[in-house]
């Protein structure tokens, strides 16, 4: 019979607070308002009101921060937006 | 004139005249050609470890150039205003985006072969809307629609009898695709309501 050595977990770890990333959607004269609104509802699961509000924000202000989160999450959002043909970029919060 | 897409008890469907289906099929084909042309840029040198080709990844020193054709660039845009971040994103994800877009366009082409375009579910209708939107983006780039004023000017070309130039014809086609897209959006939004 043998005993496995105890493994001590490293309990002290340095938590580096990574600044979150933002998903920005840009206005363009081609994408239909109904389409942008539908994309916001179906992809993000936003309510009709929130989707319309964000769509108008993009339309009127030229661009809008649609959501923020970890780098991985925002990267996959940007990829999805490009799949829908929306102009989307990512930027890290300052 | 077609009736566009409608939300019915059996899902979203649209009956399009055969001339329109043929035109759309041709437009989908044009975008497929543009994107497969871009795929050639993705080929890696023979000296590169074949493992890369197997995994579909690109070595960090094999950046992809920004597409030189503005229409292709519009379909595969920059992911960041920071050029370094945009290049890295392109290297890691463009191949996936390309094949996703191609898949949707090819599926759309197949759907257009039947007289009545009937979507099996919302997801399929959404994929068709995405493919249709890619067609609109390419047409808009060719028509040089850069601001709302351009869009409005192009939007006024609605009468086939008045078409005189190649641009007029392209504008007419663009407006037809936009109208179809909008009817599909109404159908999808009705379904969600």
Asked if B62 has any chain A CB less than 8 Å from its own CB, the reply is: no
Confidence band for A9, pLDDT divided at 50, 70 and 90 = low
Q: What is the pLDDT of residues B3-62, one digit of tens each?
A: 789 988 888 999 889 999 999 999 999 999 999 999 988 887 777 777 777 777 777 777
Spatial contact of A52 and A33, defined as CB atoms under 8 Å apart: no
Rg over alpha carbons for chain A, rounded to the nearest Å, is 20
Choose among A34, A37, A42: nearest Cβ to B126: A42
Place of tokens 């509000």: A53
> For chain A, what's the residue count?
94
CA contacts within 13 A on the Cβ side of B170: 16
Query: Nearest 5°: phi and psi at B15?
Result: -105, 125
Asked if B77 has any chain A CB less than 8 Å from its own CB, the reply is: yes
Looking at per-residue pLDDT, the higher value among B136 and B56 belongs to B136
Distance CA(B99)–CA(B77), nearest Å, equals 15
Cβ neighbours of residue B166 under 8 Å, at least 6 residues apart? none
B64-84 mean pLDDT = 96
Whether the pLDDT of residue A7 is over 80: the answer is no
Taking contacts as CB-CB distances below 8 angstroms, the residues of chain B near A93 are: none
B176, part of any domain: yes
B55, part of any domain: no
B169, part of any domain: yes
B163-192 mean pLDDT = 91
The domain tally of chain B equals 1
B114, part of any domain: yes
Q: What is the pLDDT of residues A26-71, one digit of tens each?
A: 999 999 999 999 999 999 999 999 999 999 999 999 999 999 999 9
B58, part of any domain: no
pLDDT of residue A8: 64
Q: Which of residues 18-57 of A touch B (CB under 8 A)?
A: 29-32, 34-35, 37-38, 41-42, 48
Distance CA(B93)–CA(B86), nearest Å, equals 10
Percentage of chain A lying above the pLDDT 90 cut = 78
pLDDT of residue A54: 97
**Which domain, by its residues, includes B14?**
5-37+69-76+97-187
Chosen from A59, A73, A82 to mutate, greatest number of chain B CBs within 10 A = A82
Asked if B179 has any chain A CB less than 8 Å from its own CB, the reply is: no
Taking contacts as CB-CB distances below 8 angstroms, the residues of chain A near B137 are: 30, 85
Give me the DSSP letters along chain A: ---PPP-----------PPPEEEEEE--SSS-HHHHHHHHHHHH---HHHHHHHHHHHHHHSEEEEEEE-HHHHHHHHHHHHHTT-EEEEEE--
pLDDT of residue A10: 60
B126-131 mean pLDDT = 98
Angle at B27 between CA B25 and CA B30, to 5 degrees: 115
């Amino acid at each position: 019979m043998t005993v496995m050595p105890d493994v001590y977990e490293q309990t002290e770890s340095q938590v580096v607070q990574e600044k979150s990333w933002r998903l920005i959607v840009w206005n363009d004269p081609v994408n239909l308002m109904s389409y942008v609104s539908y994309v916001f509802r179906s992809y993000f699961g936003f309510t009709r009101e929130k989707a319309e509000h964000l769509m108008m924000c993009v339309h009127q202000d030229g661009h809008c921060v649609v959501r923020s989160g970890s780098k991985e999450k925002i990267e996959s959002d940007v990829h999805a937006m490009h799949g829908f043909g929306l102009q989307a970029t990512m930027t890290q919060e300052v | 004139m077609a009736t566009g897409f409608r939300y019915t008890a059996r899902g979203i469907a649209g009956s399009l005249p055969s001339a329109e289906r043929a035109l759309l099929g041709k437009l989908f084909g044009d975008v497929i050609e543009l994107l497969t042309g871009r795929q050639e840029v993705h080929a890696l040198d023979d000296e590169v470890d074949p493992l890369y080709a197997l995994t579909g990844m690109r070595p960090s020193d094999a950046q992809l150039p920004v597409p030189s054709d503005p229409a292709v660039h519009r379909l595969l845009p920059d992911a960041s205003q920071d050029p370094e971040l945009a290049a890295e994103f392109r290297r890691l994800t463009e191949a996936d985006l390309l094949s996703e877009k191609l898949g949707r366009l090819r599926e759309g082409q197949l759907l257009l072969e039947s007289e009545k375009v009937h979507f099996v579910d919302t997801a399929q209708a959404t994929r068709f809307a995405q493919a249709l939107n890619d067609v609109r983006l390419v047409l808009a780039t060719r028509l040089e629609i850069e601001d709302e004023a351009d869009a409005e000017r192009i939007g006024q070309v609605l009468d086939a009898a008045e078409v005189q130039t190649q641009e007029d014809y392209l504008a007419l086609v663009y407006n037809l695709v936009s109208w179809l897209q909008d009817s599909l959006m109404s159908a999808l939004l009705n379904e969600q309501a």
